[in-house]
């Protein structure tokens, strides 16, 4: 009988009490790996595959080393260190989100989820940076790039526990754009916000000029028989739809509806926030901002940093409702 009682107590300990002790000993906090943690994607010391758009080869490199080349290519290294840190976290999040979505390869480069071109994120090797900027740049600025990446190691942006699509651009022109007005998909964290500290951005305001006949010729090559003349240009080119931030979503050119992004690409404009003016025999197109306008403005981030904002404050301003977390 005594042996039976001892056996029953042993079974109860194994099946009930021991699991309770084990569960009590495990805590979950903001540093717990996020759902579908990217460390599962980037195994082998976080080696990631990168398609090199110049050599057409697919290379493997450590994620954090890749991010140093991205940061140096995407943002001026002379920017405030807090802006550089914000960019490092955004770039890491963008890369890991891309790896999660296209782990077997992106349709545009099927051997890797990421590439070295602006299609993903621009990337330059240390040798390429030296050729581009010179040895003095490497000495003065490369340590700042390394510091920004290493000081934010493993930090990513999440929304509801998921990696966000951390879109960013050069200069917003004062207001960023809602994601659905550019990428067709509404993201709750990619909402239009003010970006007031962009003074000094080289392409905050810009313009291009061309002879009227060249302008019409280019339009007719893309959209035949537009029948635009100097007399009717204001009637033949009209804004059909504009976002609340002033970016042109659709134009009416003659009897054709043209996407603002398509017009921007046709004339290689800095942004879709533009105005077309006829001055004598010349067409002048004025632009405000540089880039698609969604997510973080890099020049705005630098302005916020110079005005005392931390990288956390910058990121939570441009990406609404996000958390900054470690992914492992």
Q: How far apart are CA 18 and CA 223, in angstroms?
A: 74
Query: pTM for the complete prediction?
Result: 0.85
Contacts by residues 238-244 (CB-CB < 8 Å, ≥ 24 positions apart): 243/177, 243/178, 243/181, 244/192
**DSSP for 5-36?**
HHHHHHHHIIIIIHHHHHHHT----TTSPPTT
Does pLDDT of 54 surpass 60? yes
Q: What per-residue confidence (pLDDT) applies to 34?
A: 56
| Mean pLDDT, rounded, for 158-166 | 97
| Mean pLDDT, rounded, for 238-245 | 96
Q: What per-residue confidence (pLDDT) applies to 39?
A: 45
Q: What per-residue confidence (pLDDT) applies to 12?
A: 46
Does pLDDT of 167 surpass 60? yes
Does pLDDT of 36 surpass 70? no
Q: How far apart are CA 325 and CA 320, in angstroms?
A: 15
Question: In this predicted model, what pLDDT tens digit does every residue of 20-30 receive, in sequence order?
Answer: 333 333 222 34
Q: Which of 71, 99, 69 is nearest to 85 (CA)?
A: 71
How much is the mean pLDDT over the chain? Answer: 89
Q: What per-residue confidence (pLDDT) applies to 119?
A: 86
């Amino acid at each position: 009988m005594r042996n039976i009682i001892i056996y029953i107590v042993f079974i109860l300990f194994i099946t009930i009490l021991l699991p309770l002790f084990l569960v009590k000993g495990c805590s979950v906090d903001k540093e717990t790996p996020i759902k579908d943690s990217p460390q599962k994607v980037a195994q082998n010391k976080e080696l990631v595959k990168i398609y090199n758009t110049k050599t057409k080869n697919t290379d493997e490199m450590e994620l954090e080393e890749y991010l140093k080349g991205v940061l140096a290519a995407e943002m001026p290294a002379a920017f405030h260190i807090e802006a550089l840190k914000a960019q490092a976290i955004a770039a890491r999040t963008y890369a890991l989100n891309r790896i999660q979505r296209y782990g077997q390869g992106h349709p545009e480069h099927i051997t890797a989820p990421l590439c070295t071109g602006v299609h993903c994120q621009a990337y330059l090797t240390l040798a390429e940076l030296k050729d581009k900027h010179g040895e003095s740049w490497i000495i003065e600025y490369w340590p700042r790039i390394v510091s920004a990446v290493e000081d934010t190691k493993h930090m990513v942006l999440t929304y509801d526990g998921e990696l966000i699509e951390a879109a960013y651009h050069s200069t917003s022109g004062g207001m960023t754009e809602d994601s659905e007005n550019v990428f067709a998909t509404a993201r709750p964290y990619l909402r239009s916000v003010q970006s007031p500290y962009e003074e000094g951005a080289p392409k905050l305001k810009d313009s291009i000029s061309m002879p009227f006949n060249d302008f019409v010729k280019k339009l007719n090559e893309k959209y035949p028989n537009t029948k635009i003349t100097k007399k009717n240009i204001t009637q033949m080119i009209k804004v059909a739809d504009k976002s609340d931030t002033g970016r042109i979503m659709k134009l009416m050119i003659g009897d054709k509806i043209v996407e603002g992004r398509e017009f921007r690409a046709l004339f290689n404009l800095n942004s879709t926030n533009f105005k077309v003016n006829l001055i004598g025999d010349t067409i002048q197109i004025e632009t405000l901002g540089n880039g698609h306008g969604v997510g973080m403005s890099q020049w705005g981030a630098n302005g916020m940093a110079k005005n005392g904002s931390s990288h956390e404050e910058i990121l939570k301003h441009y990406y609404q409702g996000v958390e900054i977390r470690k992914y492992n």
